[in-house]
Structure 1
Amino acid sequence: MVKFNIEPVNEENTFGQDEIIVSKTDLKGRITYVNDTFCKVAELDERDVLGEPHSIIRHPDMPRSVFQLLWETIQHKKEIFAYVKNISRSGKYYWVLAHVTPTLGKDGNVIGYHSNRRSVSANEVKKVDSLYKEIAAVERQHENRKEGMLAGSKFLVEKAVKNATSYDEFIWSVGA
């Protein structure tokens, strides 16, 4: 297992609109495949990440409750789109719109997960970042990380309901 002690820096890694970051994981979220774009943007070699938890690229600014929603959705054999702020090996951040789907075996059971990620516009980041900062603030109000994650999830759902929308509808409204 490779250990990364990454300190975030306020510098963005970018990639082209015509590029797609691809990764696959097993049921526990350990990386089983990455493409060259993943390696380039995350500044990691394939040999460094295979078998590692996908969370090695999770930026500390990301609310944990967004990943809870993501995992709950894909474990129920449903796809999800989510804006995610990731971190590269040098500490630079990069925003993506992730499309995460379960990979089903011949018997219909989930055998892994597949994620395609595209670059996002500054306008999309501005909209999502402010919401994610609110959620993260709610999470930090709790000493217990699990309680914070649950409170953040509740906040996210209540905010969506107040706006008469679902998380999916929110995601699609950001790019509009």
Structure 2
Amino acid sequence: MKKAITPTGREVYFAENDIIVSKTDLKGKITYANTTFMDISGYRKNEVIGAPHNMIRHPDMPRCVFKLLWETISSKAEIFAYVKNMTKSGDHYWVLAHVTPSLNADNEIVGYHSNRRVPNRDVLTRTIEPLYAKLRQEELSQDSKKKGLELSQDTLTALIADKGVSYDEFVFSL
């Protein structure tokens, strides 16, 4: 059984030129992770290969963002999203993730590929952190996880619709 990790509140950083890379199978189990992934997350290769990618999910992340991500990549589209991840020690790090489906010769999804870069700090502070805190608060305000997810998803959808752009266009407009 996996030991629960408690967030420390400490942020760790990776170099501007580094790219965190991972690949997963259709169920989100890690099939590849580069050295930068291991260095920043604090895990060893034998701990990540075959493990669910959500092993690095930080509890502050709104579930609606991951729902949007999975809906997008499952439809064979790519997505860009700001994500707060958690290390093995409970520290956290922010990324700007580019997640794409991996397709075979028959145009069938066989897995997923993610490249993560250092995010724009001003965008995180000014927009993403307050937005994600609001979405997470909405998720936790309901008497069921399902209702909380629906409320936060409605809020995110309304924000994007109000701006008249796609989610990716919203991310790049920040």
TM-score tier, shorter chain, comes to over 0.9
Could you tell me which residue of structure 2 aligns to residue 10 of structure 1? 9
Could you tell me which residue of structure 1 aligns to residue 77 of structure 2? 78
The farther-off stretch of 163-172 and 127-136 is: 163-172
Q: Secondary structure at the match of 2:116?
A: strand
What pairs up with 1:20-169 in 2 under 5 angstroms?
20-126=19-125, 127-169=127-169
Task: Give a deviation string over 1:38-70, Cα, whole Å, max 9, x none.
Answer: 000000001001111100000000000000000
The residue type equivalent to 1:15 in the other structure is F
Structure 1 moving runs of 4+ over 4 Å: none
The farther-off stretch of 82-91 and 149-158 is: 149-158
Q: Is the 8 A contact 1:4 1:89 kept in 2?
A: no
**Which 5+ residue runs of structure 2 have no aligned equivalent?**
none
Mapped partners of 2:101, 2:70: distance in 1: 10
Mapped partners of 1:29, 1:171: distance in 2: 23
The residue type equivalent to 1:94 in the other structure is Y
TM-score where L is the length of structure 2: 0.96
Mapped partners of 2:166, 2:104: distance in 1: 29
User: What's the CA shift for 1:146?
Assistant: 1.9
**Which 5+ residue runs of structure 1 have no aligned equivalent?**
none
User: What's the CA shift for 1:161?
Assistant: 1.6
Task: Give a deviation string over 1:56-108, Cα, whole Å, max 9, x none.
Answer: 00000000000000000000000000000000011111000000000001111
Q: Secondary structure at the match of 2:37?
A: helix
Mapped partners of 1:143, 1:166: distance in 2: 30
> Over the residues paired in the alignment, what is the CA RMSD in angstroms?
1.1
User: What's the CA shift for 1:163?
Assistant: 2.6
The residue type equivalent to 1:83 in the other structure is Y
The farther-off stretch of 43-52 and 140-149 is: 140-149
